[in-house]
Amino acid sequence: MDKIYVTQMEFYGYHGLFPEENKLGQRFYVDLELDIDLKKAGRTDDMTESVDYGEIYQVTKSVVEGEAKNLVEAVAEDLAAKLLDTFEKVTFCRVKVIKPDPPIPGHYQSVAIEIFRGRD
């Protein structure tokens, strides 16, 4: 299957279990991998046979910068569902949500979750 990648998108959201996360917010990064048949788009040079990368970004932004969730797992789940619902041609998606500055002790670059979802 062909793929579209949109990576290292940066957003500011209010997700987390701790009150300061919900009040102050923090950065989130999102990486997407979308399975889509791109043969017709490549052969015809017709945008209607693919998906608009800008629209992918806007859908992602609306979820990550939208309603606050306790868990980044819930953010990823909502995003995967919205992507599959919005883009008919996408058959499967990988969503990775990266939280670079969670308020937990220790030394690390980031924490992240990754989910894989397809059409039922």
> What domains lie within the chain, and their CATH numbers?
3-118 (3.30.1130.10)
Q: In this model, does residue 51 exceed pLDDT 80?
A: yes
Amino acid at the residue 31: D
| Cβ atoms of residues 68 and 14 within 8 Å | yes
Query: Is 96 annotated in the active site?
Result: no
> How many whole angstroms separate alpha carbon 46 and alpha carbon 13?
35
- What pLDDT is recorded for position 5? 98
**pLDDT exceeding 70 applies to what percent of the chain?**
100
Beta pairing partners, 28? 11
Q: Of 61, 69, 89, 99, which residue is the catalytic one?
A: 99
pTM: 0.94
Q: In this model, does residue 102 exceed pLDDT 90?
A: no
Mean pLDDT of the chain: 96
